[in-house]
Homo-oligomer: A and B are copies of this chain.
Amino acid sequence: MRVLILGGDGYLGWPTALHFSARGHEVSVVDNFSRRRWHTEHGTASLTPIADLDARIAAWHETSGDQIRSYVGAVENGDFLDEVVAETRPEAIIHYGQQPSAPFSMLSRERAVETQHSNVIGNLNLLFSMRDHVPDAHLVKLGTMGEYGQPNIDIEEGYIEIEHNDRKDTLPFPKLPGSLYHCSKVHDSTNIHFACRTWDLRATDLNQGVVYGIETDETADDERLITRFDYDELFGTVLNRFCLQAVIGHPLTVYGTGGQTRGFLNIRDTLACVELAATNPADAGEFRVFNQFTEQFSVLELAELVKGAAEHLDYSVEIQHCDNPRVEKEDHYYNAIHTKLLDLGLKPTLLGEELVESMIHSIERYKGNAIEASIDPHTRWDPSKSPAGRA
């Protein structure tokens, strides 16, 4: 299968490229390195020492014999993207090429605009390129569980049957996104759904939970192939950050009570899910939505899990409840359905102390790279509210 991966230099994009390449697919990647630029601009960096894209691709060729093609450019540039799609004629397009951080999108007007422009316009350009060059290709788009927010009813996979005044319809599940980044992903879903209805495109929106982990089968054995690992307040996700905090002796920063409950999955399961979606494409005209996570946890449960595992490894760990910089519910109902990927054959890698211990061991190798000042949360969802309420 010819596979085009947008954002192929990123935390998930790069291991996904190797995963598909290792399985004999013809892989091309697109990236403009904006993720690396954003880190530079904020004085942060990956904990793991990541090679540049050319060096990664050369190392992969050396170790596997397989070629990955790369195209350097921005998906926001429609002419560029159009040329790449026309030249590579992909059968599956895996779209990770977006600004992926909620706090980044809440930093300022400029960063909010950059996030929504990059994400929405990039994705819109892609829909036109598909329509015009590869109308039968399958778009596998990375969405987020954060599109749904925390409604007081069970969260279905993309659609819900609504009975109202004695009539019925199955309609898009209502969305309550929790940041301007999450809003951008809702916008993408709306645009993709429209394109499927109107142009008969085929697409799968993977509403992914929070990803944790470092290693995948293809990146574990050669340091030149390792993927990035972020732990800073902007790009670090919660479990990865807790593990790093435990290793460097920084308190685990729980925002508020830690009652916030979310779906989580291992990075290895991300690759498995994307592969399942790509090898079982949506029908023409179908906009399919899968909720892509394997387990639900509250933030405090994760902090306690990491504390327990780290203490078994003789670390001394403190859990610190800091003022919640976000505007979000800390005590809420949460039950999200996630059976469609299981039905396609996903075998989840479940989270436990052993897995946390192995993450801690991976982190120990690189702990000297940690920039401790980047960890604590400074980006407030509502700058007019002082930590203890309205200013």
Query: Which A residues have a C-beta under 8 Å from some C-beta of B?
Result: 78, 82, 109-110, 112-113, 116-117, 120-121, 124-125, 128, 131-132, 135, 151-154, 156, 160, 162-165, 167-169, 171-180, 183, 186-187, 190-191, 193-194, 197-200, 327, 333, 381-382, 384
A-B contact pairs, 16 of them (CB 8 A): A78-B109, A112-B124, A113-B125, A135-B384, A152-B167, A152-B168, A153-B167, A153-B168, A153-B171, A162-B162, A162-B174, A167-B333, A172-B174, A176-B197, A180-B194, A197-B327
Pick the contact of A162: B110, B160, B176, B200 (CB < 8 A).
B160
Contact partners of A190 in chain B: CB under 8 A: 175, 177, 183, 186-187, 190
Number of identical monomers bound together in the oligomeric complex = 2
- Tell whether, in the assembled complex, residue A167 and residue B154 are in contact, meaning their CB atoms are under 8 Å apart: yes
Cα–Cα, bound, A197→B177 (Å)? 10
Q: Are B112 and A116 in contact (CB under 8 A)?
A: no
Measured CB to CB, the closest approach of chain B to A388, in angstroms, equals 16
A187 CB contacts on chain B under 8 angstroms: 120, 183, 186-187, 190
* Residues in chain B near residue A175, CB distance under 8 A: 172, 190
Please report the C-alpha to C-alpha distance between residue A198 and residue B116 in the assembled complex, in whole angstroms.
17
Q: Are B174 and A173 in contact (CB under 8 A)?
A: yes
Q: Are A128 and B112 neighbours in the complex by a CB distance under 8 Å? A: yes
**Cβ contacts under 8 Å, A151 to chain B:** 169, 171
CB–CB A177/B194 < 8 A: yes
A165 and B153 alpha carbons, distance in the complex (Å): 8
A304 CB to nearest chain B CB (Å): 28
A183-B190, A187-B190 given; A109·B128 CB < 8 A: yes
Q: Which residue of B lies closest to A173 (CB)?
A: B174
Chain B residues contacting A178 (CB-CB under 8 Å) are 194
Nearest to A327 among chain B residues (CB) is B198
Asked whether, in the complex, the Cβ of B160 is within 8 Å of the Cβ of A164, the reply is yes
Of residues A131, A190, A193, which shows the largest number of chain B Cβ atoms within 10 Å of its Cβ?
A190
Interface centre among A110, A156, A167 (most CB of B within 10 A): A167
Min CB distance A151 to B, Å, is 5
Please name 15 further chain A to chain B contacts, defined as beta carbons within 8 Å, in addition to the given A131-B384, A135-B384, A160-B174, sorted by A numbering: A112-B124, A116-B121, A151-B169, A152-B167, A153-B169, A153-B171, A154-B167, A162-B174, A171-B174, A171-B176, A173-B174, A176-B197, A178-B194, A190-B190, A199-B384
| Complex Cα gap A351–B74 (Å) | 50
**Closest beta carbon of chain B to A73's beta carbon, Å:** 16
Q: Which of A160, A177, A198 has the most CB of B within 10 A?
A: A198
Q: Is the CB of A110 within 8 A of B174?
A: no
A113-B125, A197-B327 given; A154·B162 CB < 8 A:
no
Task: Output the least CB separation between A284 and chain B (Å).
Answer: 11
Say yes or no: A198 contacts B382, CB within 8 Å: yes
**A183 and B177 contact, CB distance less than 8 A:** no
Give the Cβ gap from A179 to chain B, nearest Cβ, in Å: 8
Specify which of B132, B154, B327 is in contact with A164 (CB 8 Å cutoff). B154
Q: Are A113 and B121 closer than 8 Å at their CB atoms?
A: yes
Are B180 and A124 closer than 8 Å at their CB atoms? yes
In the docked arrangement, what's the CA distance between A183 and B192, Å?
A: 10
B125 close to A109 (CB less than 8 A): yes
Top 9 closest pairs, chain A to chain B, by CB:
A171-B174, A152-B169, A109-B128, A187-B187, A153-B164, A198-B327, A153-B167, A172-B174, A153-B169
